[in-house]
Amino acid sequence: MRGLSGKTAVVTGASRGIGLGIARRLVDEGVRVVVTARKPEPLAAAVEELGGAAYAVGVAGHADDADHQEQAVATAVDTFGSLDLLVNNTGINPVYGPLMEIDLDAARKIVEVNSIAALAWTQVAHRAWLGEHGGAVVNVASVAGVRPSPGIELYGASKAMLIRLTEALALELGPGIRVNGVAPAVVKTRFATALYEGREEEVAATYPLRRLGTPEDVAASVAFLLSDEAGWTTGQTLVLDGGVLLHGH
């Protein structure tokens, strides 16, 4: 895609699943990536899968930790000479059930990691490089942020906040920085296993395209939004759902 080759990206939550898929697509497009995750071992394996130190560097830490954010962004600039692209992919959903029973400490953590951390990463990247040189940001939200999602409503609320932040940041950071998002439905990853395991055909049958998403599906749209091909697109969240929202529920 036009305008990606030679750039540097930070992709958070990228040791597996959607984040790793995004990092892999960006490397294929000629981007050098700094990938983050909590655990060093799977992160090191991801770096090897991405082609090693010439293409990727891993920085382990918690997505909502300010020191970790600063370290990852500094690593991008120091190692590859720039930080042109940011993908806020990290997301957690440690609880399932009605809102009336949710542990409020867990609720605060979900909002902190899924929403506020994305804003923090953007602030750090803006100070370090984007503010002066421009670039693009993509936030990975969810269809749970677009419609009611019983059982994971706090997760959905945090992703709705992320979608709203995407719009606000696009207004504030233009014209030099474009900010967009993607909102996937069920994607076949370990994170989403509980939503389809043992009944994938049944779940997929509810989608007009009759299949669940893959990390590659999401990665292709993220790469587009980061590229110059989307040069007149900002503040948008692209729903990637195999058509499931067409049912209206």
Q: Which of 55, 96, 155, 196 is catalytic?
A: 155
Strands, sheet with 177-184, edge to edge from the N-terminal-most edge strand: 56-60, 32-37, 8-11, 85-88, 135-140, 177-184, 237-240
Looking at residue 45, what is its pLDDT?
A: 97
pLDDT of residue 249: 58
Structure tokens at 242: 């195999």
Q: State pLDDT tens for residues 169-202.
A: 999 999 999 999 999 998 987 766 666 676 888 8
Catalytic-residue membership of 55: no
What is the DSSP pairing of strand 8-11 with strand 56-60?
A: unpaired
* SS3 label, residue 238: strand
Please report the pLDDT score of residue 201 as a whole number: 87
pLDDT of residue 157: 98
User: Taking the CB of residue 67, how many other CB atoms lie within 10 A of it?
Assistant: 9
**Low-confidence residues of the chain, pLDDT below 50?**
none
Q: Where are the domains of the chain?
A: 8-243
- The verdict on domain 8-243 having CATH code 3.30.70.1290 is no
Question: In this predicted structure, what is the pLDDT of residue 158?
Answer: 98
Q: Quote the pLDDT of residue 194.
A: 66
pLDDT, position 202: 87
Residue matched to tokens 């990247």: 125
